């Protein structure tokens, strides 16, 4: 299966740049979405992923695996700063 980097995240759709230079419109597959992630959207721009390519022009491909991140940012929730 091809691998690539997520370039854009729009709702449930992701634009993935494959290692061969082609771009693919993808969605997160069901088992990736329910894999035990605490966040509602585990895929972020810049993430390395494995995906199934698109089968047709109107059919999105599917992100099947999310690779480990090399770095990340951790920040406090904005809503928590207003609590006393």
- Give the start-to-end residue ranges of the domains of the chain: 3-82
Which CATH fold would you assign to the domain 3-82? OB fold (Dihydrolipoamide Acetyltransferase, E2P) (2.40.50)
* Whole-angstrom distance, CA of residue 82 vs CA of residue 18: 42
* Whole-angstrom distance, CA of residue 73 vs CA of residue 16: 21
Q: Lowest mean pLDDT: which of 3-7, 33-37, 57-61, 76-80?
A: 33-37
Q: How many other C-beta atoms lie within 10 A of the C-beta of residue 50?
A: 16
CA angle 78, 80, 84 (to 5 degrees): 135
Q: What is the pTM of this model?
A: 0.75
Binned at pLDDT 50, 70 and 90, residue 42 comes out as: confident
* Whole-angstrom distance, CA of residue 1 vs CA of residue 52: 6
């Amino acid at each position: 299966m091809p691998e690539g980097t997520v370039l854009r995240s729009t709702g449930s759709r992701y634009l993935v740049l494959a290692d061969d230079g082609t771009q693919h419109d993808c969605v997160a597959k069901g088992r990736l979405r329910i894999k035990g992630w605490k966040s509602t959207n585990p895929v972020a721009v810049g993430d390395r992923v494995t995906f199934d390519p698109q089968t047709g022009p109107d059919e999105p491909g599917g992100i099947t695996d999310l690779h480990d991140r090399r770095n990340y940012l951790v920040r406090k929730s904005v809503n928590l700063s207003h609590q006393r």
